[in-house]
Structure 1
């Protein structure tokens, strides 16, 4: 439970965490507080969404939907990894949230299955970020985009002295059957392609919060395939564990573990 960040605090927190930020005109005054008579805050956590659309910034910031006035989130995250601040006040992003889940977010304990019998308005108490993705389980979040998402969530948690337990997805809070965020991720740090889950996002935010805000995850090293190499032998010699061959395959998008040729450039995860 905390007081919502001011524009200056938003800027400072995201800059310190290494998030690339732009500001949509009017974001410091845009919100639904006056229209609803309900002020934003106190805040309890960060709620993550996907847009189910492309070129979605303007609709999130000012256009909204026929059934839902803008702003539709506090921030928008593009494929490039750039976060655009669109509002620092009350936004229409969370809808009805299960009260038992909100209680768990406040306590930073494992999130339970939604009890739909008792709800609260999540717009009152959760920061929201809309991440540009079709949500069709085919459209991939870029490396830059996922890295920015981890940094964004961590920046808010670090500012409020929260842990990663204050990070949630719309699918975890909503009593209306929401499924976001979901979809494949190109990779993160030394990790290859994986599926976006809130458990993984919280793990990555937790890891980030163990380091200074200036920290960056490890990056892959380069290796040139020589005659006789297999992914198992490369993993054994370079990573010290042949069983890590699949990490190399995933990191390089290899579907056939034996389909490597001399001279081929591979990225290797950290030891």
Structure 2
């Protein structure tokens, strides 16, 4: 059973991973003690704040609001990659979720779709809120994504976990949609690459863009990944574009990818225009 880290230990493992940390307020003692268990710890949950501005977002997560008292997470990850620690104990961040998801996290196996709300996630997970409007259009700067990767890797390294112990809030409960705007599958791949290196060391970027996950494309994303994919499809002679390609996922992107699926010789049921991992890897989209 993994016991919660002391404030000093949490601070040390984050800094060892190269995280730029700000100790905010009375974060060492600011928690929801007396309102439920804290531990055993089994993983990390990533959220988005649905807010803008660092100072106001940190204040919101520290204080909470009438219906949901703070702290609302353990740390707030700003767009510039700074991590504001606001709690080291129980926090109101994950809420109720699916026991089957928790079992999968503990076993570090693929996650089932969450259906039930029968388990207290606030007792089992560290939570990090990332400053983002959560509308699918608000950008995720490279510095912020790097901080998410480092924070998650730091905690996984401290407990001897793989990246399978890091989930998005939407993977814990079907009542939430966060984080929106990047793929948790890709983030877990990044975390695992970092865990393969020593703490704080640079991680070599992959030559090709990792598979963002099926959900990424079904959310009609706007991303440079979509542009890079479209250019590769054009190079492969699989273009249904009247103009572009561009960063916004459109029906023309789906039709173009369907042509690629057909070029690969896949069965009709696998030629729906939504990229699968094997099909994506075969396209070799340059890293963006």
Establish whether TM, by shorter chain, passes 0.5. yes
Hey, what's the Cα distance between the residues in 2 that align with 1:219 and 1:107? 28
The alpha-carbon deviation at position 8 of structure 1 amounts to: 1.1
Q: Partner of 2:193 in structure 1?
A: 207
Q: Secondary structure at the match of 2:47?
A: strand
Check 1:8–1:139 CA distance in 2 against 1; reply closer, same or farther (3 A cut). Answer: same
Please report the TM-score for the alignment, with normalisation by the length of structure 2: 0.70
Corresponding position: 1:61 with 2:62? yes
Hey, what's the Cα distance between the residues in 2 that align with 1:178 and 1:9? 30
Q: Partner of 2:203 in structure 1?
A: 217
Counterparts in 2 of 1:56-205, with a 5 A limit?
Answer: 56-62=57-63, 64-116=64-116, 119-175=118-174, 177-183=175-181, 196-205=182-191
| 1:49 aligns with one of 47, 50, 53 | 47
For the 8 Å contact 2:197–2:203, the answer to whether it is kept is no
Please report the TM-score for the alignment, with normalisation by the length of structure 1: 0.74
Q: Partner of 2:25 in structure 1?
A: 25
The alpha-carbon deviation at position 19 of structure 1 amounts to: 0.5
Q: Which consecutive segments of 4 or more residues in structure 1 shift more than 2 A?
A: 217-220
Hey, what's the Cα distance between the residues in 2 that align with 1:144 and 1:70? 26
Q: Secondary structure at the match of 2:122?
A: helix
Hey, what's the Cα distance between the residues in 2 that align with 1:160 and 1:141? 27
Check 1:20–1:129 CA distance in 2 against 1; reply closer, same or farther (3 A cut). Answer: same
CA RMSD of aligned residues (A): 2.2
* Greater per-residue strand proportion: 1
Q: Secondary structure at the match of 2:62?
A: helix
For the 8 Å contact 1:99–1:115, the answer to whether it is kept is no
For the 8 Å contact 1:164–1:205, the answer to whether it is kept is yes
Counterparts in 2 of 1:249-268, with a 5 A limit?
Answer: none
The alpha-carbon deviation at position 217 of structure 1 amounts to: 2.7
Hey, what's the Cα distance between the residues in 2 that align with 1:24 and 1:94? 21
Hey, what's the Cα distance between the residues in 1 that align with 2:131 and 2:43? 20
Q: Partner of 1:223 in structure 2?
A: none
* Greater per-residue helix proportion: 2
